[in-house]
Amino acid sequence: MKIFAALLFAVALAAGEASGQMVVADKVAAVVGGSAILYSDMDEMSRMILQERREKGYTLDRDPKIEALEALMLQKLLYNQALVDSINISTDDIQGQVDASLQQMVKARGSMAALEAYYHKPLYSIREDIAQQIEEARYAQRMEDEIRSKVRITPGEVEKYFKRIPKDSLPLVPEQYSYAQITKFPPSTAEAKQRVKERLLELRERILGGTKFELLARMYSADGSAIRGGEMDPTPKEGFVKPFSDAMVKLKPGQISEVVETEFGFHIIQMIDKDGNLYRVRHILMRPMFTDSEITQTTELLDSVARLISDQKMTFAEAAKEFSDDPYSKLNGGVVSNHDMLEMYNAFDAKLTTTLFLKEDLPKEDYMVLRGLQIDQVSDSFQAHDLRGNVMAKVVKLLRIIPAHSATLKEDYVKLEEAALEAKCDLEFQKWLKKKIDGMYVRIEPEFRSDDFQNRAWLK
């Protein structure tokens, strides 16, 4: 049973967002080791659990208060063990989370004074409580991760896990595609970048001349924030890509940056204000745009490459190596993987790399072409976009279509290995947890001792 890390953080927000009357006078619901769990904490978390279940359309099969209490008891145990084991955590962004939490709570109550009155505490004390909750949850999650990270699984164990699954209960794997690609960016990328920089400089001059930033953002920005006049959610510095944050932190309220290039395109940034480590900014994002002739030049080049492959003057793999601009696939015969996606989200792990894609995970432009191809057929060139929205030309080759099927060791070993490892992690964690509970002082107030406890070891 993994702890509710997101919910534990959300407890800090729940009271500020909750409407209605004050909670009843506080009392101790349980004690784990030397740490008490208050009724108010249990009550707030149970409300968050109820809200999450409603949003996801789940029915409740447990008392939400007992579910919340058990999660908080687990957190206390893991937190205490993390301190004993000298577990380290990162605290760099805790202050940013505290600021975000406080901001939402103040907004919900209407003012800082109203928030202080609600809690009967000064603001600094509320801030300290939130920081403690976030830090404690982070220690607990880090402790659980440490326990689970030590679990290993062998191919033999994966096979045994697979054989134990009843045939009619095997997971269903939807239809999957495997394909190769050759990509090409327009040759005039440098000119297109210069054009977009000049366009942003024109917009900057208009803003400095009195035109509202918000108006131009709605008209020209390629970012989703355009609908809000370019305004982004309050975010810590670490939440922005580095070139953006480097330019942002130099700005004073109302000031507008020079043109900033990031992996997403080109920006001008306006500082709104700063509250602690939270920055409120507006920006206009523009990406390089190409003329029809520039794009046509690129697609015609790839059409000629496709003809070379069709005429068997070179293989698709040879063409990918010679012509493709995709660094991830060009040296692998053009075979597409999710390597770039994993790197983009800082989640690269060799075990997570795959060359099989569900149709809903394919880029829409790719799927529209692939569904019309036969196995080993090479497409004509077509216009597409990379993960960051940059325009390119592309040809693709359909390698395999794996029909929807019940999972097999041969076709779906990685998925089964993940499931088997997760099951073993759960088992080992429960063994560890029972041993720790047996050796630790635990007291649950009689009114909260319930059959709804998932782990009966708590009721000793």
- DSSP assignment of 253-291 equals TT-B---EEETTEEEEEEEEEEETTEEEEEEEEE-----
Signed CA dihedral, 227, 228, 230, 236: sign only:
negative
The tens place of each residue's pLDDT in the chain, 460 residues long, gives 444 444 444 444 444 444 334 444 579 999 998 899 999 889 888 988 888 888 888 777 789 999 999 999 999 999 999 999 998 887 766 877 888 888 888 888 888 899 888 888 899 998 898 888 889 999 999 999 999 999 999 999 999 999 999 988 998 999 999 999 999 998 877 888 899 999 999 999 999 999 999 999 999 999 989 999 999 988 888 889 899 999 999 999 999 999 999 988 999 999 999 888 889 999 999 998 888 888 899 999 999 999 999 999 999 999 999 999 999 999 999 999 998 887 777 666 777 788 999 999 999 999 999 999 999 999 999 999 988 888 899 999 999 999 999 999 988 888 899 899 999 999 999 999 999 999 999 999 999 999 899 999 999 8
Q: Which two tokens stand for residue 39?
A: 């009724």
Measured CA to CA, the distance from residue 377 to residue 397 in angstroms comes to 6
Q: Reduced to 3 states, what is the DSSP secondary structure of residue 287?
A: coil
Q: What is the pLDDT of residue 20?
A: 39
CB 184 within 8 A of CB 300: no
pTM, two decimals, is: 0.61
Task: Identify the H or E element spanning 358.
Answer: strand 357-358
CB 56 within 8 A of CB 48: no
Domains and CATH numbers, the chain: 5-153+422-458 (1.10.4030), 176-186+290-403 (3.10.50.40), 189-286 (3.10.50.40)
Q: What is the pLDDT of residue 263?
A: 85
Q: What is the pLDDT of residue 434?
A: 95
Q: What is the pLDDT of residues 159-168, one digit of tens each?
A: 999 999 998 8
Return the residue matching tokens 């660094």. Answer: 327
Q: What is the pLDDT of residue 16?
A: 42
